């Protein structure tokens, strides 16, 4: 389907997203008060959530970027996680916050957790903006979840369809997928 012919409807408004980001930011500020943190942005989908979230965490933060791809631009996970960009520095002994956009089958998050834990951080805290509990294929323990949603494809606020729609400031559902 032509990516630009999707019919979208607002699913989570900009205001509701920002309220949730601020709530999670407050919780993480409490948790990491006085500690140094490395916040990892999972590219590409979480860049918008990540940049809003780290501005709400009031402690010393360094930023890292981890590029992975499992959707190949379509609407279902390929199940195979491909690393497109690895972390640029060691995270051994550091308090790590891993920031994901959405947990669908759970395969990507499990892959990321294993990869980060193998580098011996002092602690690992997982955050995802969205989770689709009905779509999980593997058990996936998450520390902070913004919204649990139904098993439908969403775009916006960093999430794409064939590369488009990441710049929407809200999360939208697609009305016209067959």
103 lies in the site for ligand 5GP, by CB under 6 A? yes
160 lies in the site for ligand 5GP, by CB under 6 A? yes
Residue of 56, 70, 115, 162 that binds ligand 5GP (CB under 6 A): 70
162 lies in the site for ligand 5GP, by CB under 6 A? no
77 lies in the site for ligand 5GP, by CB under 6 A? yes
Residue of 17, 57, 159, 172 that binds ligand 5GP (CB under 6 A): 159
Shortest Å, Cβ 30 to ligand 5GP: 27
Q: Which pairs count as long-range contacts for 64-70, CB under 8 Å and 24+ apart, including other chains?
A: 64/38, 64/39, 64/40, 64/88, 64/89, 64/91, 65/40, 65/41, 66/40, 66/41, 66/42, 66/112, 66/115, 67/42, 67/43, 68/42, 68/43, 68/108, 68/111, 68/112, 70/107, 70/108
Residue 86 annotated as catalytic = no
Q: Identify residues 104-123 at the interface with ligand 5GP (CB under 6 A).
A: 104-109
Count CA within 13 A, CB hemisphere, residue 37.
24
Count CA within 13 A, CB hemisphere, residue 96.
29
Shortest Å, Cβ 155 to ligand 5GP: 5
Shortest Å, Cβ 17 to ligand 5GP: 15
Q: For residue 47, give both structure tokens.
A: 């860049």
45 lies in the site for ligand 5GP, by CB under 6 A? yes
Residues labelled as active-site residues: 104
């Amino acid at each position: 389907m032509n990516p630009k012919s999707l019919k979208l409807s607002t699913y989570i408004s900009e205001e509701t997203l920002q309220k949730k980001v601020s709530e999670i930011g407050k919780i993480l500020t409490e948790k990491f008060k006085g500690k140094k943190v490395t916040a990892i942005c999972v590219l590409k989908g979480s860049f918008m959530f990540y940049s809003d979230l780290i501005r709400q965490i009031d402690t010393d933060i360094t930023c890292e970027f981890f590029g992975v791809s499992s959707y190949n631009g379509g609407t279902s996970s390929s199940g195979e996680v491909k690393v497109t960009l690895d972390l640029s520095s060691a995270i051994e002994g550091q308090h790590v916050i891993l920031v994901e956009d959405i947990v669908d089958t759970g395969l990507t998050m499990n892959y990321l957790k294993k990869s980060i834990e193998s580098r011996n951080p002092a602690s690992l805290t997982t955050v995802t903006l969205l989770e689709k509990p009905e779509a999980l294929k593997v058990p996936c323990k998450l520390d902070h979840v913004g919204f649990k949603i139904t098993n439908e494809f969403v775009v916006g606020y960093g999430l794409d369809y064939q590369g488009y729609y990441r710049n929407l400031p809200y999360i939208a559902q697609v009305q016209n997928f067959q």
